[in-house]
């Protein structure tokens, strides 16, 4: 007892020391628990583009550079693609959870596959589908009807080729009289210019600037047949997600769209910053050319009179129904999917944030 009484006073500071140690242990435990918890809250998403890196992809990299995905606790892996229709196929196969692809390919698959197995568009970017047929200015092909009996070039996964039956249906073209020649995407313009094909089915936002890069004037040296100018109501590319991501993690879908939209918004406000972010991902890009491509896309297919009313990211329901009907007729689909099967606007940022104006 004497020893105990003598021992305790000699350690009169022990209670404060014990409190300090308890606080330290608690903080350490929280830190150890917190790191895995934070990690568990971060959702990895594999995202596939429609094509090789171009100016029209700059907003994704600008959003990534500015930490918008990280703010939403999303770890986004961005991979290049090989066709906007193929983007749909890759997400449908489970290789990716989201991507930048063609809503018309979604329509085709939704008409023929079981419910809940097809990706859904959640943010429309190309309000005006950039599908086009291009021919040389001196070509005898002066109308779309003149394409009968001709050879048109396209990559095997090209969406413009996939959607040609819709143009043919609308324009009275006998699609069986059109021949197709497949080539690598990077050879599409070259094969037209060297007369290896008589026409080419393209994405105008891609081919216009590719022609400029080959010192060809796309306005003077090329004749264009834009699908949108020939009665085609189609929308184009946007952000699509897998049914599983939509069902199981709707909050992640909402966060993904918030981040992407901030990237689009910032790219509209500062195209140079967007291209710099793209160049960091791919140092070999021609920054001047890709800036022109970005501005061309923003002016021609992203910001339109319709988006001034409904905002970038959304669609007009009646127009979407018409485009679904056109796809159904072109591909002889057994049914026309409802707009709600192919597009879901629930996760869009507020309208006021999406009414963008290009300076």
Q: How does pLDDT run across 2-44, given as a tens digit for each residue? A: 334 333 344 344 444 444 445 544 444 444 444 444 445 899 9
Q: Mind listing the pLDDT tens digit for each residue in 81-117?
A: 998 889 999 999 999 999 999 999 999 999 999 999 9
pLDDT score of 83: 86
Q: Which tokens is 25 given?
A: 């242990």
> Does residue 276 surpass a pLDDT of 60?
yes
Integer Cα distance of 248 and 252 in angstroms: 9
Q: What is the pLDDT of residue 9?
A: 40
Q: Could you tell me which residues are beta bridge partners of residue 123?
A: 239
- Coil vs helix vs strand at 124: strand
The pLDDT, as a whole number, for residue 159 is: 80
Tens of pLDDT, residues 280-329? 999 999 999 999 999 999 999 999 999 999 999 999 999 999 999 999 98
329-333-337-342 Cα dihedral, nearest 10 degrees: -90
pLDDT of 201 > 60? The answer is yes
Residue holding tokens 């197709």? 180
- Tell me what percent of the residues of the chain surpass a pLDDT of 90: 81
What does pLDDT average to over the chain?
Answer: 90
Backbone dihedral angles phi then psi of residue 116, each to the nearest 5 degrees: 80, 10
Q: What are phi and psi of 261, to 5 degrees?
A: -65, -35
- In 3D space, the residue among 319, 52, 355 whose CA is nearest the CA of residue 203 turns out to be 52
CA 232 – CA 327 distance, rounded (Å): 10
pLDDT in tens, 223-266: 999 999 999 999 999 999 999 999 999 999 999 999 999 999 99
pLDDT of residue 40: 55
């Amino acid at each position: 007892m004497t020893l105990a009484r003598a021992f305790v006073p000699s350690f009169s500071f022990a209670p404060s020391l014990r409190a300090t140690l308890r606080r330290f242990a608690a903080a350490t435990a929280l830190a150890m628990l917190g790191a895995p918890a934070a990690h568990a809250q971060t959702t990895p998403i594999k995202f596939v583009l429609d094509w090789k890196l171009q100016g029209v992809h700059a907003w994704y990299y600008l959003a990534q550079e500015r930490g918008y995905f990280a703010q939403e606790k999303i770890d986004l892996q961005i991979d290049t693609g090989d066709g906007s229709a193929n983007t749909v196929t890759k997400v449908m196969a489970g290789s990716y959870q989201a991507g930048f692809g063609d809503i018309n390919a979604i329509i085709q698959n939704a008409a023929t596959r079981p419910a809940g197995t097809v990706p859904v568009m959640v943010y429309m970017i190309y309000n005006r589908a950039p599908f086009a047929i291009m021919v040389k200015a001196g070509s005898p092909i002066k109308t779309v009807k003149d394409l009968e009996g001709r050879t048109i070039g396209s990559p095997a996964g090209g969406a413009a080729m996939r959607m040609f039956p819709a143009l043919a249906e609308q324009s009275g073209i006998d699609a069986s009289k059109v021949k197709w020649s497949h080539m690598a995407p990077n050879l599409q313009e070259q094969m037209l210019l060297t007369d290896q094909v008589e026409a080419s089915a393209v994405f105008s936002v891609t081919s216009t600037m590719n022609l400029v890069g080959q010192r060809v004037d796309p306005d003077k040296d090329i004749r264009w047949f834009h699908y949108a100018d020939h009665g085609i109501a189609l929308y184009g590319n946007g952000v699509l997600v897998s049914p599983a991501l939509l069902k199981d993690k709707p909050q992640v879908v909402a966060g993904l769209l918030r981040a992407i939209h901030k990237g689009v918004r910032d790219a509209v406000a500062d195209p140079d910053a967007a291209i710099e972010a793209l160049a960091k991902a791919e140092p070999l890009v021609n920054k001047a050319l890709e800036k022109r491509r970005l501005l061309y896309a923003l002016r021609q297919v992203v910001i339109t009179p319709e988006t001034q009313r409904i905002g970038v990211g959304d669609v007009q329901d009646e127009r979407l129904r018409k485009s679904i009907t056109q796809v159904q007729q072109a591909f002889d689909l057994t049914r026309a999917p409802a707009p709600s099967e192919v597009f879901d606007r629930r996760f869009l940022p507020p309208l006021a944030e999406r009414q963008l104006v290009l300076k």
